Amino acid sequence: SNTLTTVDVPQGTMADGSLYDMEASGFFQIASRLSSSELVSMVKIVSDHGVDQSSFPSRDQVSDWIKDHEVGLRQLADSMLALSAEESQRLEPIELDLATLGLHFTVTQQHQLRTICRRWNALGLAGSPLAKVSAYPTASDALKSLRQQVDGEIIDWTQNE
């Protein structure tokens, strides 16, 4: 297992000993523009760089290699799917059912409430800010209080160390 570097022009020997790949170059360029880099991955099973065609592995050998690493490949795929689902949820537009909130929000206030909801989720705060809205007499009061809550949240950058 080595680092895989994606290039769009032929390379000689990689100085750092990593493998290189040209086949995925176009995919990588487009995918990197459409998604965060954490969600763009390639797995190279067979490399033909510097290998005589007579030494190419057979289909059966490649199948065996994949089977031998099936658990690791499945773990990688599952972790990528989980990360993708998290990112999708983070980016998903927040739908507000304003009728259930019991307050009148102007269009500007609706945008502000969506922003607060995104920040709330990004900070990992418990519950939903929408559940707290009905406790306030006006939309303006609700926004002010919720904004103060998210603004006052202290992030502990060392909590996972």
Provide the pLDDT for residue 31: 84
Q: 19: part of which helix (H) or strand (E)?
A: strand 19-21
Would the CA dihedral through 144, 108, 154, 87 be positive or negative? positive
Q: Which residues contact 94 (CB under 8 A, 6 or more apart)?
A: 114, 117, 118
User: Which token pair is 113?
Assistant: 């409430």
Q: Taking a C-beta distance cutoff of 8 angstroms, is the pair 84, 113 a contact?
A: no
User: Which token pair is 28?
Assistant: 């990588």
Q: What is the pLDDT along the chain (161 residues), one digit of tens a residue?
A: 677 777 888 777 666 777 778 888 888 888 888 777 778 888 887 766 666 777 788 889 889 989 999 999 999 899 989 888 877 766 665 667 777 788 889 999 998 998 898 888 878 788 888 888 889 999 999 999 999 999 998 877 776 55
CA distances from 90 to 77, 79, 120, 124, 138 (A): 20, 17, 11, 11, 28
Q: How many CB atoms lie within 10 A of CB 2?
A: 12
Closest CA to 117 of 143, 153, 79: 143
Provide the pLDDT for residue 143: 95
Provide the pLDDT for residue 93: 57
Provide the pLDDT for residue 159: 63
Give the pTM: 0.50
Rounded CA separation 75/64 (Å): 18
Provide the pLDDT for residue 48: 67
Q: 111: part of which helix (H) or strand (E)?
A: helix 107-123
Q: Taking a C-beta distance cutoff of 8 angstroms, is the pair 58, 46 a contact?
A: no
Provide the pLDDT for residue 108: 94
Amino acid at 46: V
Provide the pLDDT for residue 50: 64
Provide the pLDDT for residue 94: 64
